Amino acid sequence: MITQLLFRALDKKAIWLVVALVVIAIAIPFANLVIPEGNPLHIPNYAVPLFGKYLNYAMLALALDLVWGYCGILSLGHAAFFALGAYAMGMYLMRQIGARGVYANPVLPDFMVFLNYHDLPWFWHGFDQWWFAFAMVVLVPGALAFAFGWFAFRSRVTGVYLSIITQAMTYALLLAFFRNDLGLGGNNGLTDFKDILGFNVQAATTRAALFAISALALALAVVICSAIVNSKLGKVMVAVRDAESRTRFLGWRPENVKLFAFVVSAVLAGIAGALYTPQVGIINPGEFDPANSIEAVIWVAVGGRGTIVGPIIGAVLVNAGKSIFTGAFPDWWLYCLGGLFIFVTLFMPKGIVGLFNNLRSRKVTQASAAAEAGEDPSTLPQTRPSPEPAE
């Protein structure tokens, strides 16, 4: 059954995407490590974790697309799952420092010595084992998403209300993680990492390996998401997105479908976060900022929601733009980002991918274009003539 699922998952687009990601996973480390400096194809050391970061963001965007693009849940708190995964990884990396910290305490991380802790808080136990930490990367965001989704979807909280409460959730976590007495580093977060699985985090080879892992993890996420959306469950998800009440009346359980999508999405976001921490070298509560979550939404919107490749393109493009703009014209970045929000929602509701599809379908005959639009899962109820009075 699983092989059948995988076969269906790997439709033509997904296969090309996975192939492209595997090529990137090999090519960039190769260009960084093997091609000598001075060669125009050489990629400098600083760029590798930067590109890795883009791929992690792309994975977050893909996770968000699974719930927003396919299931109609606009989560404005997905950065929270990303940050929780990142913190779980950060805690593992902190424990790996051992006695090499500034205070040379073999058990307690530096900030705990600084804050006069005598014992390790209970939730820090086990994070010295990689398998435990990696399990937590998956379990913590998953559990939070499950608990949150269980209550939210069962109470039939939908639309903007759900968006607002997800935003409230990440904001609450932001405030909690800013507190020093939570035992997670307060506003400084976790940093000064040394080793991951025995390899030096700073070394070029480790970073290249982390990049390759990020690319492969993204490829895996593409396979998973593609499998889900191409399955029967994926069809039900789209049905829930487009007409939740009708789906319910047809005998499906929209809350269970949504909960499944939400938990899978949170787990993917957590893994993306876990890969993000060692490459960036710091994790602090700023990652919980609701603005980050909303920015992630715009990546999806720019790329094209309701598609697998869209969020990846969107995340990479917007973040590359951010890197360039914040370096060259720091004052103009917020104008660009804000303008992008407005422009995309007004003029590009299907994003870049939708734009390409439109161009292509214009070349094809009218009839086949109509057929394609009918199959396109990203058709949304956008043409309602007048707003519904809010209840």
Partner 1 sequence: MATRILSLIALLLAMVVAPLPALAQDDFAAQVNALGPGSFADRTKAMAALVATGDERVPPILLALSDGTLYMRKSDDKVVIAAKAGSDFALTDPVDGADLGTVPSSDIEKIKSNNGLRGKIRTAIGQMTLLSPDRPTRLSAAQSILKNADPAMLELLDQALAAESDPGIKSTMELARAVIVLKTEGALEDKRAAVQTVVSHNDRAAQNVLINSLAEAPDELKPTIQSGINSIGSTLAVWDVGRNLLYGISLSSVLLLAAIGLAITFGVMGVINMAHGEMVMLGAYTTYVTQLVIQAVAPGLMEYSLAFAVPAAFLFTALVGVGIERGIIRWLYGRPLETLLATWGLSLVLQQLVRSIFGPTNKLVQPPSWMSGTFDLWNLSFTWNRLWIIVFAIAVFIALQIILNRTPLGLQMRAVTQNRRMASAMGIRTPFVDAMTFGLGSGIAGMAGVALSQIDNV
Q: Report the residue number, 50 or 348, with the smaller CB distance to partner 1.
A: 348
Least spacing, CB of residue 345 vs partner 1, in Å: 4
Give the 3-state secondary structure of residue 40.
coil
Least spacing, CB of residue 380 vs partner 1, in Å: 8
**How far is it, in rounded angstroms, from Cα 247 to Cα 238?**
10
Largest pairwise CA distance in the chain: 73
Q: Report the residue number, 71 or 224, with the smaller CB distance to partner 1.
A: 71
Q: Which residues contact 83 (CB under 8 A, 6 or more apart)?
A: 173, 177, 273, 283, 285, 287, 288
Q: Report the residue number, 12 or 384, with the smaller CB distance to partner 1.
A: 384
Least spacing, CB of residue 332 vs partner 1, in Å: 8
Q: Report the residue number, 163 or 214, with the smaller CB distance to partner 1.
A: 163
Q: Report the residue number, 79 or 86, with the smaller CB distance to partner 1.
A: 79
Q: Which amino acid is at 266?
A: A
Least spacing, CB of residue 379 vs partner 1, in Å: 13
Q: Which amino acid is at 44?
A: P
Least spacing, CB of residue 335 vs partner 1, in Å: 6
Least spacing, CB of residue 385 vs partner 1, in Å: 8
Q: Report the residue number, 6 or 160, with the smaller CB distance to partner 1.
A: 160
**How far is it, in rounded angstroms, from Cα 7 to Cα 255?**
28
Beta bridge partners of 196: 199
Q: Say how far residue 331 (Cα) sits from the centre of its chain.
A: 27
Least spacing, CB of residue 383 vs partner 1, in Å: 8
Q: Report the residue number, 48 or 261, with the smaller CB distance to partner 1.
A: 261
Q: Which residue has the tokens 């480390």?
A: 29
State which H helix or E strand residue 344 sits in: helix 333-347
**How far is it, in rounded angstroms, from Cα 88 to Cα 277?**
9
User: 111-134 burial by CB neighbour count: b if 16+ within 10 A, else e?
Assistant: bbbbeebeebeeebeebbeeebbb
Contact 102, 337 (CB under 8 A): no
Least spacing, CB of residue 159 vs partner 1, in Å: 6
**How far is it, in rounded angstroms, from Cα 225 to Cα 66?**
7
Q: Report the residue number, 27 or 336, with the smaller CB distance to partner 1.
A: 336
Binding site for partner 1 (CB under 8 A): 74, 76, 159-160, 163-164, 294, 297-298, 301, 331, 334-335, 337-342, 344-346, 349, 380-382, 384-390
Contact 69, 311 (CB under 8 A): yes
**How far is it, in rounded angstroms, from Cα 28 to Cα 17?**
16
